[in-house]
Amino acid sequence: MDPGAATRISTEWSFEPSTKTSQVGHCTNCRQSVIVVKARIVGVAGNRYLLEGRCKRCGETVPFSV
Ligand SMILES: [Zn+2]
């Protein structure tokens, strides 16, 4: 993943509720796929959206993309 693309955050961005499906990310603390809660947009990379949320198991920050 290109880290430079994440710095271009659009303030015009609005997160469509329709994309709010099951948000799953890989928690490095739990070392497994976990449910992510309180997800928020942190950037855009190409046609993917970078999000960041909290691991439902341990509360650790979990980055993921949709
Ligand atoms: Zn975790």
Q: Each residue of 16-48: pLDDT tens digit?
A: 544 555 688 999 999 999 999 998 889 999 999
User: 11 C-alpha to center of ligand 1: Å?
Assistant: 29
Q: Which residues are found with C-beta within 5 Å of the ion, ligand 1?
A: 27, 29-30, 55, 57-58, 60
In order of start, what are the domains of the chain with their CATH numbers?
Answer: 22-66 (2.20.25)
pTM of the model: 0.61
Determine the pLDDT at residue 18: 47
Taking the C-alpha atoms of 6, 61, 30 and 1 in order, what is their torsion angle to the nearest 10 degrees? Answer: 0
Tell me what percent of the residues of the chain surpass a pLDDT of 90: 47
Per-residue CA distances from 59 to 17, 22, 30, 46 (Å): 23, 17, 10, 28
User: 64 C-alpha to center of ligand 1: Å?
Assistant: 13
* Cβ–Cβ < 8 Å for 54, 36: yes
- Work out whether strand 61-65 and strand 24-27 pair parallel, antiparallel, or are unpaired: unpaired
Mean pLDDT of the chain: 80
User: 23 C-alpha to center of ligand 1: Å?
Assistant: 14
